[in-house]
Chains A and B, each alone.
Chain A
Amino acid sequence: MKLAILIPAYNEEASLGKVIETLPKELPGISKIEVVVVNDGSADKTREVALNAGATVVSHWFNRGLGGALGTGFEYIKRHDFDLLITFDADGQHNPDDIAPVIKPIVDGRADVCIGSRFIGHLGSMPWYRRIGIFGLNIITFLLFWTWTTDSQSGLRAFGRNAINKIEIKTNKMEVSSEFFYEIQAKGLKLTEVPIQSIYTAYSISKGQKNINAFNILAKLIYRRFFAK
């Protein structure tokens, strides 16, 4: 099985190199691992850092946001015949040891999509206000897309070949995280969740979303649900 680790990155030169270096070089049941960085119009040395760390880089001409970058990554991975895709954040908030458990349900053929949830089991050190924001977005995701998840905003998600081929990403920014659940429901994909742990540093918190952004995300999701062609 060929695995692509997809990292969307916008001005992440400070953390990206270290993130790529700590990624696993081999995993059980995986014959080849390729790290694909979508450089989303970064103004800094994100592209060079990724190349030096040994990643494949696809570059956006200018910044399009998380959804735009993930969509490009999905398209690249679709065209290059990968069996498995895992999305991984560039800010260093994910633990590379969580990759193996997140891809396992898919390698075993038990699911098409597996979300690494920060809210199953041990809750870790997530700031309380962030928890409230994410819980609100979980509810919004459920009301709009009819799929319950314990962590609609997780950046660590794995997709099997069936999901890679069927999922179409149409949003541009952070709302993409919830859009995945729409696609999962609409395309009849099998979803499962496994616990992961987040590493909260001042850097990853500063790079994260603000609660106020939830309103913007809500508007975009309503648009996606009812108006987008």
Chain B
Amino acid sequence: MATGVGRRGSKWLAAARTPLGACSIVLLTLVVALAVLAPILWQDRAFAVDTDAIGQGPSGTHLLGTDSLGRDILFRVLVATRLSVTLAVLATVIGVTVGLVLGALPSVLPRAAGRLVISVVTIAVAFPGLLLALFFAVIFGVGTHGAVLAIAFAMAPSFARLAQTLAASVVGRDFVSAAKVAGVGRIRLLVRHVLPNIGEPLVVNATIGAGAALLAFAGLSFLGIGVQAPDFDWGRLLNEGLDGIYLNPAAALAPGVAVVLAGLAFNLVGEAVAGVVGVRTRSARIGRRSVPAAGTAAAEEHGDDALLVVENLQVAFPRPSGWTVPVRGVSFTVRAGEAVGVVGESGSGKSLTGLAVSRLVETPGVVTADRLEFAGTPLLTTPERELRGLLGTSLAMVFQDPMTSFNPTRRIGRQLAEVSEQHQGLPRRKAFERAVGRLRSVRIPAAERRARQYPHEFSGGMRQRAMIGMGLMGEPRLIIADEPTTALDVTVQRQLLRLLARTRTEGDTAILLISHDIAVVSQTCDRMLVMYAGRVVEDLLTGDLAAGPRHPYTRALLAATLELDTDRAEPLTVIPGRPPEPDRVPAGCAFAARCPAATDQCLVEDPVLESVTAAHRVACWHPQEDAAPERAREAVTAGGAE
């Protein structure tokens, strides 16, 4: 808890050090100080009538000149700060309160009444703010009270609308449902769960709203329906100064500048607050990363048929505290027509490895490798333009979420055809025919009709098929599939894996299948790479899985996998502990803390991936020897540590 508060505090401090934060603090302090002090110090001088100096220009005694009664304009502008700012803040507070109540009501009221409130707000939003203010000024009468209420009520609808939208997004979340199930009442639901979770954007908007209110107030006073004499605010001073603008421009400019500065103060504060509480990512400015000479694996012999060669691949991201390296020196080879699986838990770096190979890691991520070659072309040094053709036709990517892989506004067939138009220069018609042919080859029923449909008309499994079909528009030599079946049901998953396997044999296409499910990988691939904390810890043939993996992590993963024949009488095997965070990887073997076979050496020295046999590599100081892995069960009671 204390660390949470501390982190929070340091975040504010960091924001205050940015140019924007510093500016906003200085301006706001100035405005507040003037609002408090000016009337105390200079009240008399602002009201002192000097009949000898009426309507004068700037001079030594009156820096900005005098008004029609000979009062000093500079002091009047300074003294007016309090009234101008107070009224603006007051209007904002009323407006925000009314807006918040209107915005929150629909989530408390019964459905029908809630809808009514929403409709009323929707209509009110459509009215221009100034018109609404004028209208209220007529109702409430000309004067300060009327103006405050007018601006407040003009502000309320848009604020209500914002609160409604934000509240609606929170109400849909599971924790609100959970509270409902627990029997929490509506009011408490609103106060404890909804409002705190929408507070931040509302605060930011309220601050910016205060700036707008200030401006609106100045406008009303300028028009003569705001503050009335003998009181004065900036708007009124502006109005008075305008009469003599050709004689003494300063009289009109000074209150104008004051309005601008105060408005700027509010808006900048809003922006700065948004920067801290919002989700905006600030780019961390840290030095260039020096690639650590990671314990390179013994260089593998790459045959002539090596399609993808990866040596000492690293992916790093800048964090405020320094570089974090989620992929730390991965080396492997994929031969033509081979199916290789990458297995690991979330955070093991398996997806990033796939993205790095297809050059999809976005800045500020940095990809380095001793060697990264696809079909003989180095991927890191070849210019992007030359690569595009190669990757576009020879490399296909299938992602986890079939919902977001396609452009929802275009027909499936056209999206597929585009690939051929771009990379193979096929005419439109030919390309579309090819698209239909590819859809048919990935076994989409009624491909001709389906090609003319939009992505939302496809089921999840069909969309993933179409995605593979899209990859087949070129002549792919490698398909990288990143958790392609995780969002799908078992029956659909099996169909899709079969399709991948068939595609592989028909076109001699290599497959890199990334999955958290060791069973899925062992069914589909010849070979699997087991990843842990950004490293490949074992590289073995899936056929050898039954005979016994060597790395304790692979064994633990296999033992923890539930099967249809798992003994129901026994508690399930668990792996104690949890993987290290990518920015806090220990010095020795990353798995040592959870490993039953770990010794002192494991805590100090990081093991390197070394060949056990021709087709089996393992990174472990104490590779397990016994042939059949006994399903050794931890003495676990109810759950085990985590």
Interaction A to B = no
